[in-house]
């Protein structure tokens, strides 16, 4: 382990311990997750360590669809072009742009159809990487760290919602608790601590067995803010997750919280602070309800495989060289990203029959 990584973890651990002390000895998990991922300069998405890439040998932790294959962005561009036309807008807004790979793919495919491409990212260190990747597009690309009061255009976000802090709820012997973090482990290390709570999952969990799960107030607040600001346009979010009835299925009693490091997954976010990604699956029903209540109805909801195929991925695959075809196929293979990953679309203005949801729309299952 590099010295840089060790001192980073130590500094972040100190910051978390200080926050626990200031909060009276217990930090709800969402506040812990916000620090672990976004504490300025130290959090996983705020430090300079490498994150995205196809192989652990590159020092990366996980691979996302645009990193895996440029065909992802090429197919998504078909939907973005359709949405720009249908909503009469000329701007693209990308949330959480990672290495900038998706922005490059979309801009290459869409060219002058996009008057301006604006990236909104919480991570300052990733912004530098994005600026390098997108240098060739000049003033077509802009960065902002906050949403403007009013925006028009087509919004995209790949694997952004899963990176938003969640609250952990745990039912123990029939009583619901909120799970948080204390510094009461051996030698002052971080440890779990549960407190009784009035909070509940959005649906009753059948049975009386012990049950750990998440709720997603931040992702829902995010989509409400988007609904408030998007005057005209549409939004497309791609991520892993389920509808509410699948998410809170009685058998899913261990929740979906997951850490990623060196292309390995584990379920313990407390050690190695700042050096592993922490994520939770998306509750697409909760997201759609929050958006709808704020005036942003659902345009469509389907699997990534269905969406990309509706956008013409199959002919793109057929034209691609053999090696690129294998990577592109992982985007739609059921046992890879095809089925677990979903796409949800929202619109402001007139509904239209969006190309990505034309076949296999599952909005009725939300
Ligand atoms: C898992 S990465 C995905 C990166 C990229 N979209 C990709 O597919 O490779 C999550 C990204 O979302 C960003 N993020 C999380 N919450 C955000 C928010 N509220 N607004 C903008 N970006 C956010 C993080 O900083 C990080 O860059």
Query: What is the residue-wise DSSP string for 41-58?
Result: TTSTTTSSS--B-S-GGG
Q: Which is higher by pLDDT, 155 or 8?
A: 155
What's the rounded mean pLDDT across residues 310-332? 94
Cα(160) to centroid of ligand 1, in Å? 4
Looking at residue 188, what is its pLDDT? 75
| Helix then strand then coil, % of the chain, to nearest 5 | 40, 25, 35
* Sequence-ordered list of residues with C-beta below 8 angstroms from that of 1, at least 6 positions apart, any chain: none
Looking at residue 236, what is its pLDDT? 98
Cα(162) to centroid of ligand 1, in Å? 9
The length of the chain, given as a count of residues? 366
Whether the CB of 66 sits within 6 Å of ligand 1: yes
* Sequence-ordered list of residues with C-beta below 8 angstroms from that of 14, at least 6 positions apart, any chain: none
Torsion of CA 65, 71, 76, 81, to 10 degrees: 150
* Sequence-ordered list of residues with C-beta below 8 angstroms from that of 89, at least 6 positions apart, any chain: 83, 152, 153, 154, 232, 233
Q: What is the mean pLDDT of the chain?
A: 94
Whether the CB of 96 sits within 6 Å of ligand 1: yes
Q: How confident is the model at residue 1 (pLDDT cuts 50, 70, 90)?
A: low
**What gap in Å lies between CA 334 and CA 331, rounded to an integer?**
9
- Number of Cβ within a 10 Å radius of residue 26: 16
> Which tokens hold the place of 145?
């760290």
Asked if the model's pLDDT at residue 55 lies above 80, the reply is: no
In degrees and rounded to multiples of 5, residue 337 shows phi and psi of -100, -10
- Number of Cβ within a 10 Å radius of residue 104: 20
Asked if the model's pLDDT at residue 104 lies above 60, the reply is: yes
> Which atom of ligand 1 lies at the shortest distance from residue 126's CA?
27
**Taking a C-beta distance cutoff of 8 angstroms, is the pair 300, 357 a contact?**
yes
Q: How confident is the model at residue 210 (pLDDT cuts 50, 70, 90)?
A: very high
Looking at residue 146, what is its pLDDT? 84
Tokens 């240098």: give the residue: 135
**Taking a C-beta distance cutoff of 8 angstroms, is the pair 361, 301 a contact?**
yes
Whether the CB of 304 sits within 6 Å of ligand 1: no
Asked if the model's pLDDT at residue 195 lies above 60, the reply is: yes
pLDDT tens digits along 283-309: 999 999 999 999 999 999 999 999 999
- Alpha carbon 54 to chain centroid, angstroms: 18
* Sequence-ordered list of residues with C-beta below 8 angstroms from that of 176, at least 6 positions apart, any chain: 169, 170, 196, 197, 199, 200
Asked if the model's pLDDT at residue 179 lies above 70, the reply is: yes
**Atom 23 in ligand 1: which residue has the minimum CA distance?**
96
**Atom 26 in ligand 1: which residue has the minimum CA distance?**
96
> Which tokens hold the place of 193?
């601590």
In degrees and rounded to multiples of 5, residue 182 shows phi and psi of -120, 170
Q: How confident is the model at residue 37 (pLDDT cuts 50, 70, 90)?
A: very high
What's the rounded mean pLDDT across residues 178-186? 89
In this prediction the pTM is 0.96
User: For the chain, how far is it from start to end, CA to CA, in angstroms?
Assistant: 44
Cα(284) to centroid of ligand 1, in Å? 17
Burial of residue 56 (number of CB atoms within 10 Å: 0-12, 13-18, 19+): middle
> Which tokens hold the place of 364?
């009725």
């Amino acid at each position: 382990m590099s010295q840089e990584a060790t001192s980073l973890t130590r500094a972040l651990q100190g910051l978390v311990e200080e926050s626990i002390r200031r909060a009276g000895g217990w930090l709800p998990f969402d506040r812990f997750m916000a620090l672990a991922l976004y504490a300025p300069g130290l959090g996983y998405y705020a430090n300079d360590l490498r994150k995205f890439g196809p192989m652990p040998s590159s020092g990366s932790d996980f691979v996302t669809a645009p990193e895996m294959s440029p065909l992802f962005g090429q197919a998504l561009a078909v939907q973005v072009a359709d949405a720009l036309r249908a909503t009469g807008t000329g701007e693209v807004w990308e949330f959480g742009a990672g290495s900038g790979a998706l922005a490059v793919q979309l801009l290459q495919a869409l060219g002058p159809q996009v008057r301006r491409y604006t990236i909104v990212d919480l991570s300052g260190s990733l912004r530098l990487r994005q600026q390098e990747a997108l240098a060739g597009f000049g003033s077509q690309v802009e960065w902002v760290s906050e949403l403007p009061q009013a925006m028009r255009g087509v919004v995209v976000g790949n694997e952004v919602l899963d990176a938003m802090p969640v609250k952990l709820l745990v039912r123990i012997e029939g009583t619901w608790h909120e799970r948080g973090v204390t510094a009461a482990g051996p030698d002052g290390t971080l440890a779990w601590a549960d407190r009784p709570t009035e909070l509940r999952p959005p649906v009753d969990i059948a049975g009386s067995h012990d049950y750990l799960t998440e709720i997603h107030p931040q992702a829902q607040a995010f989509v409400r803010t988007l609904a408030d600001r998007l005057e005209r346009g549409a939004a497309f979010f791609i991520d892993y997750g389920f509808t509410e009835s699948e998410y809170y299925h009685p058998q899913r009693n261990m929740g979906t919280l997951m850490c990623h490091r060196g292309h390995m997954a584990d379920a313990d976010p407390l050690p190695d602070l700042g050096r592993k990604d922490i994520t939770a699956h998306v509750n697409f029903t909760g997201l759609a309800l929050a958006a709808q209540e704020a005036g942003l109805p659902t345009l469509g909801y389907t699997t990534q495989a269905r969406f990309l195929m509706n956008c013409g991925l199959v002919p793109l695959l057929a034209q691609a060289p053999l090696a690129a075809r294998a990577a592109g196929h992982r985007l739609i293979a059921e046992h890879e990203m095809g089925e677990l990953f979903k796409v949800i679309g929202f619109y402001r203005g007139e509904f239209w029959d969006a190309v990505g949801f034309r076949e296999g729309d599952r909005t009725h299952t939300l």
